[in-house]
Amino acid sequence: MAGKIIDGKSLAAKFKEDIKREVGQLKEKHKVTPLLTAIQVGENPASRVYIKNQKKSCEEMGIDYQLHELPEATSEEELLQFVEKLNTDDKVTGIILQMPLPQQINGRRVQMAITPMKDVEGMNPSNMGMLVYGSPRLAPCTALAAMELLNSTGVDIKGKEVTVVGHSEIVGKPITLFLLSSILESATPTVCHIATRDLASHTRNAEILIVAVGKAGLIKGDMIKQGAIVIDVGINRVPVLDEKGKPVLSNEGKPKMKTVGDVVFEEAVEKASYITPVPGGVGPLTVVMLLRNTLTACKWQREKK
C-alpha cells in the first residue's frame, strides 16, 4: 500500500494562521510590530525570488519587511558596520542575510555578527549552542521545517532508528541535534555524508529517513525500509524526460525542467508509511519557520526590555 503524503502546504497554512493571530495580539496588546530586515549585497537572480517570497509572506502575516540593497563592491568591514547599525536599531527585530555574498565577504563572519536575539536564520553560534544544550531559541528554518513535518505524523520518535543523509550546518547537523533534544523525545540518529562507505545499509536500517544532500535520485526505493517515514529536504532541477528517456523541449527549444528531491518519489512512496513530496513538502514550511522565528525574535526582545 502506498504511503501517506505529508502535505507541507496545508501544514504551512495552519502555522500561518497561528503566526498571524500572535502578530495581531502583539500589535494590539503591546503596540509592537515585528520588522524583518533583509540585506542583499550585489545582484543575484535567485535571491530576488526569495526576497519577493519573503516580502509577500511577511505582508500576509502583518510583519513589516524592509530590504537593504548594498553595492557588489561592499567590503566585509562595511557590511559588519551595517549589521551593527541594525543590531542596535530598536525598530529592527529580525535580520536576514541573503546568500550568496560577493567573494570579498566571509559570510560566516557576518552571520556571527548578527546579534543572537535578531538572528532569525538561527545561524549565530550562540543559537546553535542552545540547540546543542537541547534548549533551542532560534534554530535554522529548514531543520525546524523537517522536524515539524515529522512531528505532524504523530509517530513517537523516542528511541527510533533515524538516518540523516547530509550533515550541513544549516540542515543535517541541526536536524540531528533536534533528534537528540528533548523536544520530541530523543531518537537514535545515524548521520551519513560523502565519506559514508555503505549508504544503503544505513538507509535500509532507518525507521525514519531524512535526506538533505542535493542529488536527484540518490535514494532509490530498494534503499528504504518497509514502513519508514521519509522526509526529503533536497531540491534539484532536472530535465523532464519523455517515455524514451529523451529530454522534452519547450516551444523555445530549451529542455523543460522540473523540481525533484533527493529521493526517487515513485519508488519510495510504495515502501514508506509517510513521505514528503518535492515540491510541496519541506519547502513551503521552511518559509513559515522563518516567519515563526521572526515572531519569536520579536517576543524575545520585548521580554528583555
Q: Site residues (CB under 6 A) for ligand NAP?
A: 142, 165-168, 170-172, 192-196, 199, 212-215, 218, 233-236, 282-283, 286
Residue reference for cell 502546504: 9
* Residue 170: partners with Cβ closer than 8 Å, 6 or more residues away: 121, 123, 140, 142, 143
Sign of CA dihedral 209, 214, 216, 217: negative
Least distance to ligand NAP, CB of residue 282, Å: 4
Based on CB atoms, which residue is closest to ligand NAP, 6 or 165? 165
The Cα 63–Cα 291 span in angstroms is: 8
Residue 88 C-alpha from the chain's centroid: 27
Least distance to ligand NAP, CB of residue 213, Å: 4
Based on CB atoms, which residue is closest to ligand NAP, 117 or 281? 281
What is the residue type of 144?
Answer: L
The Cα 20–Cα 30 span in angstroms is: 15
Based on CB atoms, which residue is closest to ligand NAP, 70 or 180? 180
Least distance to ligand NAP, CB of residue 167, Å: 4
Least distance to ligand NAP, CB of residue 288, Å: 10
3-state SS assignment for residue 189: strand
Based on CB atoms, which residue is closest to ligand NAP, 35 or 292? 292
Query: Are 228 and 271 contacting, i.e. CB atoms less than 8 angstroms apart?
Result: yes
Least distance to ligand NAP, CB of residue 302, Å: 28
Based on CB atoms, which residue is closest to ligand NAP, 70 or 132? 132
DSSP-derived letter for residue 42 is S
Based on CB atoms, which residue is closest to ligand NAP, 35 or 38? 38
Phi-psi map region of 122: left, alpha, beta (phi>0 left; psi -120 to 50 alpha):
left
Report residue 190 as a C-alpha cell: 545515524
The Cα 206–Cα 24 span in angstroms is: 42
Report residue 21 as a C-alpha cell: 493571530
Least distance to ligand NAP, CB of residue 191, Å: 9
Least distance to ligand NAP, CB of residue 259, Å: 10
Query: Are 41 and 83 contacting, i.e. CB atoms less than 8 angstroms apart?
Result: no
Based on CB atoms, which residue is closest to ligand NAP, 35 or 277? 277
